[in-house]
Amino acid sequence: MSGAARGGSLSRDELLAFCLEFNAVTEEFPFNPETSVFKVVGKVFALTALDAEPLKVSLKCDPDEAIRLRAAHPQIVPGWHLNKRHWNTVTVAGLPAGTVRELIEDSYDLVVAGLPKAERLRLDRP
């Protein structure tokens, strides 16, 4: 049984698979071969070094929600090497898999919301 199925934290493989489940997502390596950058229609919504210990993922977030999440969870801090107002870095261990999945989906949705309407409709996310 996977960590996600048990309600534990996401594994590296589960994190990778979940990021790739969304429409029109690509995994790229623009910085180095260790850092996976997940994009939707060319816009970044998640960054992670999948082999790092502990496993972390940086995600886009509404600025007010970012502050709330940081206050509620010590595993969530301002985005490392990113605009700290709009990005959080999440240490996956210690957070329920469902919480991490919600944060990833929120990041994807936030990026998609900033796309032109025609692209959003193509992605089935009006």
Q: What is the pLDDT of residue 126?
A: 54
Q: How far apart are CA 67 and CA 80, in angstroms?
A: 15
Q: What is the pLDDT of residue 94?
A: 86
- 88 closest CA partner among 68, 61, 55, 113: 61
Q: What is the pLDDT of residue 104?
A: 98
CA atoms within 13 A on the CB side of 48: 30
Q: What is the pLDDT of residue 3?
A: 43
DSSP labels, 16-78: HHHHHTSTTEEEE-SS-TTEEEEEETTEEEEEEETT-SS-EEEEE--HHHHHHHHHH-TTEEE
Average pLDDT for consecutive 10-residue bins of the chain (126 residues)? 56 96 96 96 95 95 96 95 93 94 97 92 75
Whole-model pTM? 0.90
Check: CB of residue 123 under 8 Å from CB of residue 41: yes
Check: CB of residue 56 under 8 Å from CB of residue 64: no
